[in-house]
């Protein structure tokens, strides 16, 4: 038996309908939305619009036209941060951010933006009161991940969204680890900007993702170019999503993403979460008590996603991942997981961790096998 337990990086396998949608688009549709006066273009545009509508439904977004496609969550986060912040502005974030948010903030800091990273506990808990206490008159944005890709910790975004809303500060959420597997309601959670990957919990292909922008939020463009329509002016259109989608988009990927989002809507986020959290609980139970093994993140499973990172005294996580892969055909991820801030917070910056991230298509047998494999290596 083998097991793919690296779904926090990219989900695999995909639902059958996703493979079919990409294949169908490439063979039978072929055209680019907004580029062409023919029926193929109309079909391509219809698919992209249906994908926006399905995403808006999933996230309770106020307007499907606010869904701008990107290559991944990183581009979406950059688009939001660099579209909103300028020298003299202040932004609040957390101490467990992924480099997708942390590095652009560090780049902005070099250009005169002030950054406060509110400390989380070792297990990743963030106190909304501390976020509120960090607000200054110049605070222009609160930008947080929804859940940590290292610790699995879910941040209290609804509470922080409410306080951001009360104080009139836009709120950006990096939902890379929660989309499709944890309920997201942009309106109830007061999220103004939602960055999401298409290739993780939404089961889309690589090279898909997007930024959902609440009407009323105006972003400076980060990239300019052809928009298909509204071509005469020398500046990018004001209207969304055209303003943020310069150049030909990954139309075949978006067709696959639409199939992935439909799969999530059909199954239901609650069912997906229950399955993934069942597997997570099994894994934690099977590993707990192993000599020298520490499980990172919160004790309470209601506070976490399907990410189980472990450290084992005397072992290098990268070597464990290599043996799991090469001897047992079990795919995990070791090291810093592009999130040194989270490892610094957890006290694991020196050595990193070994991460198991079960997904919707994993089974209890695979989880038992992975736990047994790790124990047999030890
Ligand atoms: C919390 C978090 N943010 C952002 C990203 C970046 O996502 P992408 O690879 O789609 O740019 C990841 C990817 O692992 C992540 O876990």
pTM of the model: 0.98
Long-range contacts of 293-299 (CB under 8 A, 24+ apart): 293/378, 296/123, 296/150, 296/151, 296/152, 296/346, 296/348, 296/353, 297/123, 297/124, 297/148, 297/150, 297/151, 297/152, 297/153, 298/123, 298/124, 298/125, 298/151, 298/152, 298/153, 299/123
Give the distance (Å) from ligand 1 centre to CA of residue 65. 23
Give the distance (Å) from ligand 1 centre to CA of residue 229. 31
Q: Count of alpha carbons within 13 Å of 229, Cβ hemisphere only?
A: 12
Choose which residue among 197, 209, 355 to substitute to test ligand 1 binding: the one with the highest number of ligand atoms within 8 A of its C-beta. Answer: 197
- The per-residue pLDDT for 35 is 87
In this structure, the residue with its CA closest to atom 14 of ligand 1 is 9
> Quick check: CB of 197 below 6 Å from ligand 1?
yes
Atom of ligand 1 nearest to the CA of 75: 11
> Quick check: CB of 205 below 6 Å from ligand 1?
no
In order along its 378 residues, the chain shows pLDDT tens digits of: 799 999 999 999 999 999 999 999 999 999 999 888 899 999 999 999 999 999 999 999 999 999 999 999 999 999 999 999 999 999 999 999 999 999 999 999 999 999 999 999 999 999 999 999 999 999 999 999 999 999 999 999 999 999 999 999 999 999 999 999 999 999 999 999 999 999 999 999 999 999 999 999 999 998 999 998 889 999 999 999 999 999 999 999 999 999 999 999 999 999 999 999 999 999 999 999 999 999 999 999 899 999 999 999 999 999 999 999 999 999 999 999 999 999 999 999 999 999 999 999 999 999 999 999 999 999
In this structure, the residue with its CA closest to atom 2 of ligand 1 is 176
Choose which residue among 77, 101, 147, 149 to substitute to test ligand 1 binding: the one with the highest number of ligand atoms within 8 A of its C-beta. Answer: 149
Give the distance (Å) from ligand 1 centre to CA of residue 100. 6
Going 286 to 290 to 293 to 295, the CA torsion angle's sign is: positive
- The per-residue pLDDT for 36 is 87
Strand arrangement of the beta sheet that strand 308-312 belongs to: 293-295, 308-312, 353-356, 333-335
> Quick check: CB of 93 below 6 Å from ligand 1?
no
Give the distance (Å) from ligand 1 centre to CA of residue 198. 10
- The per-residue pLDDT for 77 is 98
Q: Which residues are catalytic?
A: 338
């Amino acid at each position: 038996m083998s097991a793919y337990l690296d779904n926090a990086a990219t989900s695999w396998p995909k639902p059958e309908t996703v493979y079919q949608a990409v294949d169908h688009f490439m063979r039978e549709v072929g055209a680019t939305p907004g580029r062409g006066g023919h029926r193929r273009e109309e079909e391509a545009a219809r698919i992209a619009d249906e994908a926006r509508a399905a995403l808006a439904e999933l996230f309770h977004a106020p307007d499907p036209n606010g869904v701008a496609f990107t290559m991944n969550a990183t581009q979406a986060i950059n688009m939001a941060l660099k579209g909103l912040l300028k020298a003299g502005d202040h932004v609040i974030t957390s101490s467990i951010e992924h480099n997708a948010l942390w590095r652009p903030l560090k780049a902005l800091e070099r250009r005169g933006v002030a950054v406060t990273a509110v400390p989380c506990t070792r297990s990743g808990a963030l106190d909304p009161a501390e976020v509120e206490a960090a607000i200054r008159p110049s605070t222009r944005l609160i930008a947080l991940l929804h859940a940590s890709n290292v610790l699995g910790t879910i941040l209290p975004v609804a509470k922080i969204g409410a306080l951001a809303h009360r104080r009139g500060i836009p709120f950006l959420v990096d939902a890379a680890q929660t989309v499709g597997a944890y309920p997201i309601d942009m309106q109830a959670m007061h999220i103004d900007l939602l960055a999401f990957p298409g290739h993780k919990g939404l089961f889309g292909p690589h090279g898909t993702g997007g930024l959902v922008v609440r009407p009323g939020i105006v972003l400076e463009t980060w990239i300019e170019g052809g928009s298909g329509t509204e071509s005469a002016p020398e500046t990018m259109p004001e209207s969304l999503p055209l303003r943020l989608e310069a150049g030909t988009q990954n139309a075949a990927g978006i067709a696959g993403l639409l199939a992935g989002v439909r799969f999530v809507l059909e199954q239901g986020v609650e069912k997906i979460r229950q399955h993934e959290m069942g597997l997570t609980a099994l894994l934690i139970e099977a590993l707990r008590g192993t000599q020298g093994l520490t499980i990172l993140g919160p004790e309470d499973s209601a506070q976490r996603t399907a990410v189980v990172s472990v450290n084992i005294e005397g072992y290098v996580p990268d070597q464990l991942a290599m043996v799991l892969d090469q001897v047992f055909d079990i795919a995990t991820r070791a090291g810093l997981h592009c999130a040194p801030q989270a490892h610094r917070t957890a006290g694991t910056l020196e050595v990193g961790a070994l991460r198991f991230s079960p997904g919707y298509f994993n089974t209890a047998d695979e989880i038992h096998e992975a736990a047994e494999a790790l124990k047999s290596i030890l």
